[in-house]
Structure 1
């Protein structure tokens, strides 16, 4: 019966909608990854400045705990990086993460455990596309036609 419904509807329209849905899903995943990596980068910079201040002797215990937690996050990322190099990485990484959840071990770095809603991620995508479109428009307006002599 489901096949009949798919064929009975406009198949081209269904294919277009399915393609658009997949593209949006990939965009959301890429934006979420970009956000997580940017957060991880910022936290790592803070960690390095805290460790530099630690060598000079002027750092609080709270800051040192924060830096050590970030160092553990980096080690978690490196541990997953080993699986990314191996064959069948798209299968092994989710399997390792799921096994970690079952056992009660947090395998992912803290920035990848974000709870952003789809609306927030969609808004970031729209903002990024508008900014990109604005840059293209301004680049086109800067180009002047050649002068004929």
Structure 2
């Protein structure tokens, strides 16, 4: 740290800026997570409505196929939540997701699959709004 102080003219300012950048990044990531969870919630509600309609024989095969796909996503989320209980959850969950990609198994629910694309779009929109 002493070398860093001698190199930079304003180390305290650099520290404050980096701290602010970290918080903004964290807020942006949490907003993306909130959107993904809201989407998953809405899809699950639609799934339950479709199953209710199926019991009355009012649902089509396509609607039932989409409901079954969402049920699979729900089971994926429940299976992944098992790792939250483990002591090293911040390490195990990314490891399981990475191993799933290597093996070719989709571990995350569908609303979480395109999070990186959503993040890029969000950053682009924020930069346009600043200009």
Same fold (TM > 0.5): yes
Deviations 1:16-43 (A, max 9, x none): 1110111011111100110000000000
Q: How does 1:80-95 map to 2 (within 5 A)?
A: 80-95=80-95
1:118 aligned residue (108, 117, 120): 120
Q: Scaled by the length of structure 1, what TM-score is found?
A: 0.76
Report if aligned partners of 2:4, 2:11 keep a CA contact under 8 Å in 1: no
Report if aligned partners of 2:53, 2:59 keep a CA contact under 8 Å in 1: yes
Question: Structure 1 residues 60, 7: closer, same or farther in 2, change over 3 A?
Answer: farther
**Alignment RMSD (CA, Å):** 2.0
2:129 corresponds to: none
Determine the C-alpha separation between the residues in 1 that align with 2:3 and 2:20.
22
2:16 corresponds to: 16
Q: How does 1:55-70 map to 2 (within 5 A)?
A: 55-70=55-70
Aligned length: 123
Determine the C-alpha separation between the residues in 1 that align with 2:16 and 2:97.
33
Report if aligned partners of 1:31, 1:121 keep a CA contact under 8 Å in 2: no
Q: How does 1:89-104 map to 2 (within 5 A)?
A: 89-104=89-104
Q: How does 1:4-83 map to 2 (within 5 A)?
A: 4=3, 7-9=6-8, 10-83=10-83
Larger Rg over CA atoms: 1
Determine the C-alpha separation between the residues in 1 that align with 2:61 and 2:107.
25
Gap regions ≥5 residues in structure 2: 127-131
Gap regions ≥5 residues in structure 1: 125-149
